């Protein structure tokens, strides 16, 4: 691991005083970075109406935001979309909203396969024993498909969202649309939720946008940014605004492509020699885990991916999932495009995103009869294509229909 020199010029003014409030005891159920310590940032998106709660998660310091959204109900009370880790800090911030706007009434799990969302619902719901829990249909678990009650969901107040949005008690304020993509015994699913009064669309993973600068929640602990700002596995970097931006942009490339074309691996022999010359023991320990070097033109891939902050579908969904059910996905996108929203709040990366229904539909143009990848570089899809071929060959996923 590289040496990193951190400066204190990004200390958040609203940071909690007690680190014990950041503890997430059940981190081992889905062991993602930052494991047992989850800080939470709450932001007001629409005054006295919508708030976001951001935490981070990742693998090998590829740390990105994961987001819960809370909406105030007209009759009083709160609706929670996609709970995050219910740390003491997170629950305290929710209680502050309850004291002003009423109790949490509804908790929505908008995904089927997203373990990083599902794992929090049961523990979160236990803090709000009067709240009703609504989940996307076709739920499953791995490696054994267990009932939701065995996964910690409260059995007497957990409900499957029906195909008819009028069946739910919050139908007067919200519309929703269900997406289901079958994947050989498993499935991908998502619930898009439209809040009519604020013209806001809530989505989980289907569409997103990337900010040019690292989000505030990622900067609470800048080490992942500095780790990925290195040009190779053994660089020494200095903390600065420029360095953090560079690290963030590379994190985005890792998160979406796993192995972007702008990155090349270092031969293990060379990595071993360089590791033995390193003074830091931790760098020696990780030499084989992350031997890499960035090509000089790496930023072209980021600029193509970000596209000036446009709305897009993650490459992994384009390559491995949604192209298995193109007609169903397009029908879902067109249903949502009939709603009159002006902004979108996804569960990851940037939020809120100023976007129209036409912007949302355009994000799925890669599934049209004449598909478009929206400016993404074909060479960055190379590893995902290799992964796709392997999964199809092993019978893990069905072949693409596009």
pLDDT at residue number 370 = 74
Q: What six digits make up the tokens of 188? A: 């991908």
**From CA 117, how far away is CA 205, in angstroms rounded?**
10
What's the pLDDT tens digit per position in 241-298? Answer: 999 999 999 999 999 998 898 888 766 555 555 555 555 444 444 444 556 788 889 9
Domain ranges of the chain: 18-210+312-365, 222-306
pLDDT at residue number 281 = 46
pLDDT at residue number 374 = 65
Looking at residues 311-331, what average pLDDT do you find? 95
Q: What six digits make up the tokens of 348? A: 């990851």
CB 224 within 8 A of CB 32: no
**Strands 292-294 vs 237-238: parallel, antiparallel or unpaired:** unpaired
Residue 385 has pLDDT above 90, yes or no: yes
329 burial (CB, 10 Å; 0-12 / 13-18 / 19+) is buried
Residue 377 has pLDDT above 60, yes or no: yes
**From CA 187, how far away is CA 138, in angstroms rounded?**
7
Looking at residues 31-41, what average pLDDT do you find? 94
Question: What is the overall mean pLDDT for the chain?
Answer: 88
Q: What six digits make up the tokens of 29? A: 């159920």
Q: DSSP states of 337-352 as a string? A: TTS--SEEE-SBSS-S
CATH code of the domain occupying 18-210+312-365: 3.60.15.10
pLDDT at residue number 8 = 34
**Bond before 188 cis per omega within 30 degrees:** no
Looking at residues 24-33, what average pLDDT do you find? 90
pLDDT at residue number 152 = 85
> Quick one: what percent of the chain has pLDDT higher than 90?
67
Q: DSSP states of 350-365 as a string? A: S-SEE--HHHHHHTTG
Looking at residues 159-177, what average pLDDT do you find? 95
Residue 10 has pLDDT above 50, yes or no: no
Looking at residues 32-55, what average pLDDT do you find? 96
pLDDT at residue number 7 = 34
Beta bridge partners of 133: 107, 158
User: Which segments of 207-366 does DSSP mark as H helices, in order?
Assistant: 216-219, 223-228, 241-257, 268-277, 281-285, 298-306, 315-320, 326-336, 357-362
Give the residue with greater pLDDT, 272 vs 116: 116
> Quick one: what percent of the chain has pLDDT higher than 70?
87
Residues 6+ apart with CB under 8 A from 307: 374, 375
pLDDT at residue number 338 = 97
């Amino acid at each position: 691991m590289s040496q990193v020199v951190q400066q204190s010029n990004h200390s958040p003014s609203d940071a909690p005083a007690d680190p014990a409030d950041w503890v997430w005891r059940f981190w081992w159920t889905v062991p993602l970075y930052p494991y047992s310590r989850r800080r939470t940032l709450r932001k007001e998106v629409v005054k006295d109406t919508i708030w976001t709660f951001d935490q981070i998660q990742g693998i090998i310091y590829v740390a990105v935001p994961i987001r819960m959204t809370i909406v105030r109900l007209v009759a009083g009370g709160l609706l929670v979309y996609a709970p995050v880790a219910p740390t003491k800090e997170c629950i305290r911030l929710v209680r502050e909203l309850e004291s002003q706007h009423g109790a949490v009434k509804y908790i929505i799990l908008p995904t089927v396969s997203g373990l990083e969302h599902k794992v929090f619902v049961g523990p979160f719901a236990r803090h709000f024993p009067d709240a009703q829990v609504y989940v996307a249909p076709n739920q499953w678990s791995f490696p054994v498909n267990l009932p939701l009650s065995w996964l910690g969901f409260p059995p007497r107040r957990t409900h499957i969202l029906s195909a008819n949005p009028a069946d739910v008690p919050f139908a007067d304020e919200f519309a929703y649309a269900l997406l289901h993509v079958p994947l050989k015994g498993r499935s991908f699913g998502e619930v898009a939720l439209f809040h009519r009064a604020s013209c806001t669309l809530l989505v989980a993973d289907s569409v997103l946008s990337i900010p040019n600068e690292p989000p505030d929640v990622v900067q609470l602990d800048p080490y992942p940014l500095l780790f990925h700002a290195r040009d190779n596995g053994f660089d020494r970097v200095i903390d600065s605004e420029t360095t953090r931006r560079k690290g963030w942009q590379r994190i985005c490339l890792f998160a979406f492509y796993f192995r972007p074309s702008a990155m090349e691996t270092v031969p293990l022999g060379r990595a071993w020699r360089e590791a033995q010359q390193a003074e830091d023991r931790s760098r020696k320990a990780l030499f084989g885990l992350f031997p890499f070097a960035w090509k000089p033109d790496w930023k072209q891939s980021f600029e193509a991916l970000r596209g000036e902050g446009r709305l897009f579908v993650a490459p992994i969904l384009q390559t491995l999932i949604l192209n298995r059910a193109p007609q169903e996905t397009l029908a879902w996108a067109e249903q949502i495009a009939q709603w009159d929203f002006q902004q979108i709040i996804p569960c990851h990366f940037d939020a809120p995103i100023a976007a129209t229904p036409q912007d949302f539909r355009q994000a799925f143009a890669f599934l049209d009869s004449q598909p478009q990848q929206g400016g993404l570089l074909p060479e960055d899809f190379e590893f995902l294509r290799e992964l796709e071929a392997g999964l199809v060959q092993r019978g893990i996923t069905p072949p693409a229909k596009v």
